[in-house]
Amino acid sequence: MIRSTVRSAAAALALAISALVPVTARPAAAAPPEPAPAATWLPRTDIKRSDLTQVPGKLAEPSDDGPHPGSETEWWYTHVMDPATRRTFIAMLFTAPVPTAVIFWYPEEGAKTVLPEPTARVTAADGPTVESSAGSLVWDRGRGAYHLRWHGTFAKADIWFDRALPGVTGGPIRYDGDQTMYWSAPVATSRVRGWLRPPGASSRISVDGWRGYHDHNWGRFSVVDQRYSGWEWGVSHEPDGTATLLGGVVKGDGTWQGVVGRVTGRETYGCMSTISLSRWRTSGLFTYPETTTLSCPSSLLATPGGLKGARPGIRTSFHVVDPFVLDSGLLALPESLGRTVPGSLGLIEHIRTLRARLPQS
């Protein structure tokens, strides 16, 4: 459910990543628990081909996570998830195109909620540190961990992302309209400690032992540009303490260019992957897949100096287990709970622009 009292760019960010899409100031229901099969007259928002051209990359480090002045779009994203109950809290801070803070809350039972947190400014500095009147995310060098403090109107939190395993920093990925996007995931998975007071709650809950994730996107791009088709993204926290990541862009001609990565206690490795979408469902004017399968015959080790050394191939599938679909018109996505292996818990996005979702003449 989206609850908003304003019709503005800030309210639009209740779509999680759309900074320029107005949404109607009324509740919007998530997709039903058992979504209908894809409508025959709606085109599947499928991928036509995979581009395996290597995008530059390296092991993600806090030093990659500072601000990038001149970016048309830039945000810092965090989430914490409880594998036992699926409770999930997401907090995001944007510096561009407009200073914005937004949260998601998925309770164990009841409606999921997305709320823009009032904030007049969001500032970022090397450290890295990102601060606003709603909350902050700071790398603590002494502890060797990220610290999320949230003191917004709708939620409060004090959470440490301990025992973090790093993902990758990649980019630029180049696509329609001379757009460029970079992505860094310095916390692919972690064991978090601290507390959270979620929206509507009168008391704190402990998040000790939950799994945590943090990434950062920036570049010369707009998420609502109608020349490209969208992107695919996902993270799965797996029961053995490892994680699987996916991320990439779907260009205007239906070409996917993106990565799948494995993150373990010993190493991080990944590859430019092929992708296959299946088990199609419909929510309004939007088709989305319940299963996303990625594969490559070999992969590369992520090091601070770049991608070096051969590693095994990867084949994995992300499965939607609890869909939550947001549709602003110009952009639609499921921000859905999902999994890879049994006992895992994560999030999956299948973002598509309006142009990519409608029948083409």
Note the pLDDT tens digit of each residue in 197-251.
Answer: 999 999 999 999 999 999 999 999 999 999 999 999 999 999 999 999 999 999 9
Distance CA 55, CA 326 (A): 29
Distance CA 193, CA 352 (A): 35
Distance CA 279, CA 39 (A): 13
pLDDT score recorded for residue 39: 63
CB 290 within 8 A of CB 278: yes
pLDDT mean over 326-346:
95
Per residue in 2-15, pLDDT (tens digit) is 332 222 333 334 34
pLDDT mean over 24-48:
61
Instruction: Say whether pLDDT at 356 is over 60.
Output: yes
Sole residue written with tokens 């460029």? 180
Residue 201 is which amino acid?
Answer: A
Tell me which residue of 149, 146, 168 sits closest to 157, measured CA to CA.
149
pLDDT score recorded for residue 35: 57
Per residue in 93-149, pLDDT (tens digit) is 999 999 999 999 999 999 999 999 999 899 999 999 999 999 999 999 999 999 999
Distance CA 61, CA 57 (A): 12
Per residue in 78-95, pLDDT (tens digit) is 999 999 999 999 999 999
Distance CA 317, CA 339 (A): 8
pLDDT score recorded for residue 13: 40
Per residue in 257-292, pLDDT (tens digit) is 999 999 999 999 999 999 999 999 998 889 999 999
pLDDT score recorded for residue 10: 31
- 148's enclosing H/E stretch is strand 145-151
CB 262 within 8 A of CB 268: yes
Instruction: Say whether pLDDT at 24 is over 90.
Output: no
Give Cα separations from 69 to 73, 96, 118, 182, 286 (angstroms). Answer: 10, 9, 23, 13, 35
Sole residue written with tokens 């309004």? 284
Phi/psi of residue 87, each to 5°? -60, 135
First to last CA, the chain: 34
Secondary structure class of 18 (helix, strand, coil):
coil
Sole residue written with tokens 């992302």? 161
Q: What is the 3-state secondary structure (H, E, C) of 175-198?
A: ECCCEEEEEEEEEEEEEEEEEEEC
Secondary structure class of 44 (helix, strand, coil):
coil
pLDDT score recorded for residue 168: 98
Phi/psi of residue 134, each to 5°? -90, -30
* pLDDT > 70 fraction of the chain, expressed in percent and rounded: 89
Per residue in 153-184, pLDDT (tens digit) is 999 999 999 999 999 999 999 999 999 999 99
Tell me the average pLDDT of the chain.
Answer: 90
**Considering the entire predicted model, what is its pTM?**
0.91
CB 210 within 8 A of CB 81: yes
Instruction: Say whether pLDDT at 38 is over 90.
Output: no
Whether residue 62 has a cis bond before it, omega within 30° of 0:
no
pLDDT band at 1 (very low <50, low <70, confident <90, very high): very low
pLDDT score recorded for residue 18: 40
CB 312 within 8 A of CB 300: no
Tell me the torsion sign for CA atoms 186, 98, 234, 57.
negative
Residue 98 is which amino acid?
Answer: V
CB 280 within 8 A of CB 38: yes
Residue 290 is which amino acid?
Answer: E
Q: Which residues pair with 73 in a beta bridge?
A: 219
CB 94 within 8 A of CB 225: no
The single-letter DSSP state of residue 2 is: B
